[in-house]
């Protein structure tokens, strides 16, 4: 993994099953597949320096047009000082 994503915060109780740096649109991102408390999900993590003040609606549109999601599937956005994480495809296992 490049140094761009070395300091992504780890969530308590979350196990990252797979992660890979990739591109999404014009952005270099970190894609993760994770497991926590009987739930699996996907995350796409952006550097805030790359996305600036991109709106939650713009992030949601990018995710919905780039990944197979049900129309009513939930998407959760979390911003930290350095990163913006979008969680989606969350389901109980």
> What residue ranges define each of the domains in the chain, with the CATH number in brackets?
3-92 (3.30.200)
Q: For each of the chain's 93 residues, which pLDDT tens digit applies?
A: 568 898 898 888 999 999 999 999 889 999 999 999 899 999 999 999 999 888 888 888 889 888 888 777 889 999 999 999 999 999 888
pLDDT at res. 43:
95
pLDDT at res. 9:
85
pLDDT at res. 2:
66
pLDDT at res. 76:
92
Using CA atoms, how far residue 50 sits from 24, 68, 80, 83, in Å, is 12, 24, 14, 9
- Strands 39-47 and 27-36 turn out to be antiparallel
């Amino acid at each position: 993994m490049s140094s761009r994503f070395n300091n992504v915060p780890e969530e308590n109780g979350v196990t990252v099953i797979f992660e890979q740096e990739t591109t999404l649109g014009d952005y270099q991102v970190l894609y993760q597949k994770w497991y926590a408390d009987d739930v699996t999900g996907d995350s796409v993590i952006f550097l805030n320096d790359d996305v600036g003040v991109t709106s939650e609606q713009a992030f949601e549109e990018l995710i919905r047009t780039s990944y197979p999601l049900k129309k009513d599937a939930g998407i959760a956005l979390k911003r930290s000082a350095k990163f913006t994480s979008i969680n989606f495809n969350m389901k109980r296992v």
